[in-house]
Structure 1
Amino acid sequence: MGAGQSKTSEDGDKVFYSETPIQFSEEVVHQLTDHISTTEPTRERQTSIDSHVRSRIQAELARLREEEQLVKVEIEQALEKENLDKEREMAGEETGTAEGVTGSLKSSTSLLGDLEDVRQKVERFHKRKDLEESPLLREKGEAVVLCYQSNPTTPLDCWRAVGEFKAAVSKVEQNYVDSLR
C-alpha cells in the first residue's frame, strides 16, 4: 500500500502525487501577481527604507562635521604657530643681555628706522591723494564737460579745452612720479 508512490526514479529523485487538487482564491492570485508586477516596494517597506537611509545620512553628516572641526583646529594651530614664528623673526636676531636676560628684541634704532619708513609712506600717500584731488585738474575737467554740453552737435570745437585738460593731467602725473622718489 502506497509502495508505488514512495519509489524513487532512476536518477534518485522522489516524486509525490497529490490526489487532492490545490486551488487558490482569485484574491490571493491577484495579490501575488500585483506584487510580482510592481517594482515599487510597499508603503511600509518604503518607510523603513527611507528611515534607514536618513539615519545613515545623519551619521555620515555627523562624522563629516567632526572631521571638519578637527581640520579647523589643525589649521588654526598651524596658523598660530606660523604667526608666532613670523613675530619672532620680525623681532630680530639681536639678543639683549641686560640684567643677564637674553631675548630676541629689536633695537630702538631699528624700530625708529621702521617708524620713519612708515611716516614717509604716509606722507607719500597724502601727497598722492592731494594730487588726485587737484583743483586745477578738476577745473579743466569741468571745462571739457561744459564745452561738450554747450556744443552737442559740434564736439570738435572743444579741442582747446581737451588740450588744456591733457596738459593738466600730464602735470599731475609728473608730480605723482616725483612724489614716489
Structure 2
Amino acid sequence: MGSSQSKGDAPPKPMVFVNEENPVPVRISSSFANQIAQSQPVSGSPQDIESQVRQRVQAELAKIQAEKQENEFMNYKSTTNANAVVTEQEMDQLAKHAPGKHVKVLPEEIVKAQDALVACYKKNPERSLDCWAEVVEFKELVQKAQNAFVATAKEV
C-alpha cells in the first residue's frame, strides 16, 4: 500500500484537465501544481484575510496617487513652459510695436526750481514748511509749462 509513495524514482504523473464545452485536454505537471499550491496563501481567519486585502488596497491606492501626482506635475511643467514661451513672444511683439521712449527735456527754469526745492527740503528736514516760497515758484513754473503744452496740443 504505502510502497508506491516511498518510491522516489518514478516521475510524477501530469494532471489532465478537459473543458466540457471545448474538449481540448490541458496537461499540468505535478511540480507546477505544487508550485502554485505553495504560492497560494494559507487561508486564515477572516480578519487576516481582511487585513491582507486592506494592505493590498492601500498599496495600490498609494501607487495610483503617485502616478496621478507625477502626471499632474508633468502637465503643470509643460503648461508652464508653454506659458513662458507665449509670454516671451508677446513681450517681443509689444516691444516691436511700442513707440520709442520719448524723453522730454524739462525747461531749464523748472529744473533750477526743482533743485532749489530739493535743496531747501534737505536744509530743513524738520521744518519743511519753511520751503513754501520754493514750492510756490516750482508750482507756478510747472503750471505755465502745462498750459503751454495744452495750447500747442489744441493747435495740432
Provide the TM-score with structure 2 as the length reference. Answer: 0.38
Bigger relative contact order, structure 1 or 2 (CA pairs below 8 A, ≥6 apart):
1
Task: Compare the two structures and name the one with the higher strand fraction.
Answer: 2
